[in-house]
Structure 1
Amino acid sequence: MTTVIIGGSGMLLKATEWMIEKEDTSVILCSRNPNKYGHLIVEKNVCFHYFDFQDPKSYEALKNSINLNYISTLLVWVHSPYYEMLNDFMNQFDFKNIYLVQGSTSRTFSFDKQVQIIKLGKHPYENRWLTQEEISDLVINVIRHDY
């Protein structure tokens, strides 16, 4: 299986680590800055691909670089103004699972494929925003449910 992760550093870093640790998964990390992934870049099942979610050329370059092997999962966090480009990219592949992490102010968008939205926001019991670790834990729990 191959997983493509777009925007997996920062708040999704723990979830990215979890995906990389899965023995049967190759991971393509897509980001502007490989340094944000630290030691994960050198893992045997990881390939880094420079990617700027604001640039249409990045989607085209990623599409052209992906091996035609089966890509099972897409985990992505991009800002909502770029959903059209993301949608066009997703339409070119037959992903088994697509997970989109959305911030609290993301706009509504109708994707052509079935996308599981993981909506972020405030903590359910405390008057505060979720921490990065809590966000990753939420993402991991959703993905784990599907595997």
Structure 2
Amino acid sequence: MSESEKAYALVIGGTGMLERVCHWLVEQGYFVFVINRNREKFDTMKSRNPNPEQLLPLTVDYHEEEQLLQKVSSAFEKYGVPDLVVSWIHSSAPHALPLILNQFKSRNKTWKLLHVQGSSSFFVKENTPVPENCQYRRIYLGFVIEDNVSRWLTHDEIANGVIKVIQNDYQETIVGTLKPWNKRPQ
């Protein structure tokens, strides 16, 4: 299979709560760029995959914009621009996602962005500008109420929710619940 025939995905948050999403994407035949801050953690994750050659590290702190741009642009130049982006970026790095999306300007084919956001983002409904050929999907991470006690979602629950969005192409999804808001974990 030539480089141009391979399907690529980019996952931001792939060595944490989205690790299982990375493994699932590999099972679906994707080669997955994983933005990670800790190469050792990435290598451990990679060792758990039966096809480790399909997990490609982009070791960089996404708060470091110049380094992020360099890593992403060189990977895209070498392999091509991904068909799918799954992004979990903390609000402390507001320029990281726009910087990455800017790398898609030259792409003509349609591609998907799954924008994973925290629960409080649901009430803000920020406008994320994306290129015309981008199919934007928004995923809000809520919480779970069990026996009248609330807790945050587990990594598996989050990964299952993201995978479900990929499989069913939902426009906007809440994983868990956001109601009643005053019952969320403190």
**TM-score, normalisation: structure 1:** 0.84
The corresponding residue for 1:141 is: 164
Q: Distance in 2 between matches of 1:145 and 1:96?
A: 15
Q: How many Å separate the matches in 1 of 2:125 and 2:92?
A: 10
- Structure with bigger strand share is 2
* CA drift at 1:84: 2.7
Rounded Cα–Cα distance in structure 1 between residues aligned with 2:81 and 2:62: 22
Q: How far apart in 2 are the matches of 1:108 and 1:79?
A: 16
Tell me the secondary structure at the aligned position of residue 94 of structure 2.
helix
Q: Name which of 111, 125, 140 aligns with 2:128.
A: 111
Structure whose alpha-carbon radius of gyration is higher: 2
Match of 2:60 in 1: 51
Contact 2:15–2:41 under 8 Å retained in 1? yes
1:86 to 2:101 alignment: no
Match of 1:30 in 2: 35
SS at match of 1:44: helix
Unaligned runs of 5+ in 2: 1-6, 170-186
CA–CA distance in 1 between the matches of 2:17 and 2:69? 26
> What amino acid sits opposite 1:30 in the alignment?
I
Structure 1 position 108, deviation (Å) = 4.6
Matched length = 144
Q: CA deviation at 1:68?
A: 5.6
Separation in structure 1 between the aligned mates of residue 14 and residue 45 of structure 2, nearest angstrom: 14
Q: Which residue of 2 aligns with 1:19?
A: 25
Distance 2:45 2:153 in 1: 25
Give the number of the structure with larger relative contact order, counting CA–CA contacts within 8 Å between residues 6 or more apart: 1
Give TM-score, length-normalised by structure 2: 0.68
Structure 1: gaps (5+ residues): none
Paired with 2:54 and 2:99, the residues of 1 have a C-alpha distance of: 27
**Kept in 2: contact 1:91–1:112 (CA 8 A):** no
Task: Give aligned-pair identity as a percent.
Answer: 28
